[in-house]
Amino acid sequence: MLLEVKDIHVHYGKIAALKGISVEVNEGEIVTLIGANGAGKTTTLKTISGLRGLTSGSVVFDGQDISKMPGHKRVLAGLGQAPEGRGVFPGMTVHDNLLMGAYTRSGDFDADLAEVYELFPRLAERRTQMGGTMSGGEQQMLAIGRALMAKPKVLLLDEPSMGLAPLMVQQIFSIIEEINRRGTTVLLVEQNAQQALKLAHRAYVLETGKVVKSAPAADLLNDPDVQAAYLGGG
């Protein structure tokens, strides 16, 4: 197992946002967390990446307990993050944004840059454009491309489809599939349950800070309760 979240409890002040969440991600998988607004999906991801501290429980990555490790060290350890709200550097070119993703490591980045540009031809076309002038979908591509430059073992994605037009959503999802096919494990948080379940191997359904279901994604697509609650009535 590459990533194991064990019974984590997380509080915002006195409010319990996560009440004992456990999630497992095996090497090579795409795992998705779905659930309604406020269910705790983003908080789970933030706890894994080190942006939130936990009250109890643990996060084990690649055999190491990283529960108390600072976020930047988690990136070095191989947890790749494409943050919510994109987080690209607006005053830097696309190219320089991508290079920033590799700042944690040494070596020759040309092959990795070439691979990112191959995955995202749109970024290759616009390599001299400022990050801040890219469209929402393009900035999402840039955020994912930048995360890939760190050569992560696991890519954590927080609602990559948020605010994007349907065609762009399709593109982003098919690129995520390709990234996984090339060997990167993916943990995906999504509001768009239908698309996420089509893409993922396994899924967890979160409700008010707890996991209420976990199963192969294909099974959840056919689950009447999941259809009624998250897939527009099926």
By CB under 6 A, name the binding residues for ligand ATP. Answer: 12, 15, 17, 35, 37-43, 191
Pick the closer one to ligand ATP by CB: 67 or 97: 67
Pick the closer one to ligand ATP by CB: 93 or 194: 194
| Exposure letters 174-201 (e unless 16+ CB within 10 A, then b) | ebbeebbeeebbbbbbbebbebbbebbb
Do the bridges between strand 56-61 and strand 64-65 make them parallel or antiparallel, or are there none, so unpaired? antiparallel
d(CA 225, CA 7): 24
d(CA 106, CA 103): 7
Pick the closer one to ligand ATP by CB: 17 or 154: 17
From the CB of 194, what's the least distance to ligand ATP, in Å?
Answer: 15
Pick the closer one to ligand ATP by CB: 17 or 116: 17
Residue 113 CB partners (closer than 8 Å, separation 6+): 95, 98, 99, 149
From the CB of 42, what's the least distance to ligand ATP, in Å?
Answer: 3
From the CB of 35, what's the least distance to ligand ATP, in Å?
Answer: 5
From the CB of 3, what's the least distance to ligand ATP, in Å?
Answer: 18
From the CB of 209, what's the least distance to ligand ATP, in Å?
Answer: 7
Residue with tokens 């999504």: 190
d(CA 77, CA 152): 8
Pick the closer one to ligand ATP by CB: 38 or 132: 38
Cα 17 to its chain centre, rounded Å, is: 19
